[in-house]
Amino acid sequence: MDVDTEIQVHNEQASTSCASGQASASTSSEMKIPQAPVQFEVRQTDTSKGRCLVAVTAIPAKTVIFEEEPFVFSQFAWNKHCGYSACDHCLRPLEIVEANISRLTRNNNFMLPYPESCQTKKNQHEPCPDCLITYCSESCLKTAYQEYHKTLCPGYGDTKHDPMSVLENAWRKIHYPPETTTIFLLVRLLARIIQAPDKQEMVQKILNFSHKSVNEHEKLSHKFLGDQFKDQLIELRSMVSRVIYPDQSPEVHQFLTSEGFQSLIALIGTNAQGVATSAFSAWRRNVETLRLRKKDQEEVDELVEEIYEDMERCTGGEFLDNEGVGLYVKQSSVNHSCDPNAIVKFWNNNFRLSLVSKKNIEPGEEICISYLDECELHRSRHSRQKYLKENYLFTCLCPKCISEGDDPDVTSEEEASEDENDE
Ligand SMILES: C[S@@+](CC[C@H](N)C(=O)[O-])C[C@H]1O[C@@H](n2cnc3c(N)ncnc32)[C@H](O)[C@@H]1O
């Protein structure tokens, strides 16, 4: 563990209720597990690693370390555009499971067994009365309005020329699927400052997320946007200013200067967590809790496999879930390891995150997740370090990287063939 000087910043008893890369909607082998009370704390290291999360008590494998909702979240612009239907606040699917499958398999007559296992409750959905964006519940509608939607609601009328739609169209032209982030997270952050009763406090909460030095911002904003980033950055900044009207709140100005805008983009780039939800995945998890007879469960498993095959045939399998990205306060203090002892899960079919231990964790041990997906994690040390350096600006010196330190600096075969495909 890389903690030389330890200053306790935060000490928390995890509640007993119920970067960091992309998530996919949980699969059936990821059933929710009971949460045991555990203790952890955020500590400051005196290395460039910054803060880290450390276990205070022993944490057995498969324990929920904490659960939390994001500080700010936004779904991807392409979701809505391609007919994906999710709550505009928490990403809970708004489609019933049959509609979800029909859309992705292009088979309109789809009938599923155990329809009562579908979680979608159409009768609870609430549209914004002004712009008709839909939420899964009155509670999401109210929270969105109180936190950011009052500032961002485009209202009725000329939806083509309102500043939000102009920004959305421009963003989609810059950032094709698979999206990895969205400008709307940044817009919601700024709207949160405008709507906060204590704006300075809100700015401070944003600046508490790990952020980089000035000369590192440009590298990260380049990653965020794609190749012709310079012109796009100026264009995006001016479009965001038209959505936000910075004159409403001087606290927002600092983030709309060239430097401030890039620093916010870099902050999002290094802290954001991908989230994915799906009505079909939720249905599968619920059916598993029915404890069906072996034969019935086997029939369900076969059906599920057929449906996935159809979905892959019709869509290419790349874009099955509702997707978005959020900033999480506690999760953003968790560092990366190529041999992580914890993992992020989304068991509630919305943006609520659970951090779960993968192994037994000793008191004093750092809790780490992987910022790489499963495929990337199995690549050579050189490929892993290259990805982390490019996307998070650090050289990973986790125990696995150190133990592979004598391996030659070779690019893994998978990465080399991906690079060829990209070209
Ligand atoms: C989501 S933050 C993690 C918490 C961060 N250490 C902090 O101080 O808030 C991601 C950033 O933490 C740092 N980081 C994460 N894992 C690291 C590691 N294994 N070694 C060095 N730096 C790491 C990198 O600067 C990265 O961009």
Residue whose CA is at the smallest distance from ligand 1 atom 27: 392
Give the distance (Å) from ligand 1 centre to CA of residue 392: 8
Residues 37 and 1: beta-carbon distance below 8 Å: no
CA–CA gap between residue 3 and residue 51 (Å, rounded): 9
Give the distance (Å) from ligand 1 centre to CA of residue 159: 40
Work out the burial of residue 84: count CB atoms within 10 Å of its CB; fewer than 13 is exposed, 13-18 middle, 19 or more buried: buried
Which atom of ligand 1 is the closest one to the Cα of 270? 27
Residue whose CA is at the smallest distance from ligand 1 atom 26: 392
Give the distance (Å) from ligand 1 centre to CA of residue 270: 8
CA–CA gap between residue 271 and residue 373 (Å, rounded): 16
Say which residues have a Cβ less than 8 Å from residue 311's Cβ, sequence separation at least 6. Answer: 101, 104, 105, 317, 320
336 lines ligand 1 (CB under 6 A): yes
59 lines ligand 1 (CB under 6 A): no
49 lines ligand 1 (CB under 6 A): yes
- pLDDT 10s per residue in the chain (423 long)? 222 222 223 233 332 222 444 455 554 445 556 566 788 999 998 888 899 999 999 999 999 999 999 999 999 988 877 888 999 999 999 999 999 999 899 888 778 999 999 999 999 999 999 999 999 999 999 999 999 999 999 887 666 678 888 998 888 888 777 777 789 999 999 999 999 999 999 999 999 998 766 566 666 666 666 655 667 888 889 999 999 887 778 999 999 998 899 889 889 988 999 999 999 999 999 999 999 999 999 999 999 999 999 999 988 767 789 999 999 999 999 999 999 999 999 999 999 999 999 999 999 999 999 999 999 999 999 999 999 998 888 999 999 999 998 887 777 666 666 655 544
Helix (H) / strand (E) element for 322: namely: strand 322-327
Which atom of ligand 1 is the closest one to the Cα of 210? 9
Residue whose CA is at the smallest distance from ligand 1 atom 9: 210
Give the distance (Å) from ligand 1 centre to CA of residue 49: 5
Q: What is the pLDDT of residue 29?
A: 44
332 lines ligand 1 (CB under 6 A): yes
Residue whose CA is at the smallest distance from ligand 1 atom 19: 336
User: Which domains does the chain possess?
Assistant: 7-69+328-371 (2.170.270.10), 74-273 (no CATH), 379-423 (no CATH)
Give the distance (Å) from ligand 1 centre to CA of residue 412: 24
192 lines ligand 1 (CB under 6 A): no
Residues 83 and 244: beta-carbon distance below 8 Å: no
- The ipTM assigned to this model is 0.99
Give the distance (Å) from ligand 1 centre to CA of residue 53: 11
CA–CA gap between residue 378 and residue 380 (Å, rounded): 7
Q: What is the pLDDT of residue 33?
A: 64
Our measurement of the distance from residue 76's CA atom to the centroid of its chain's CA atoms, rounded to an integer in Å, reads 10
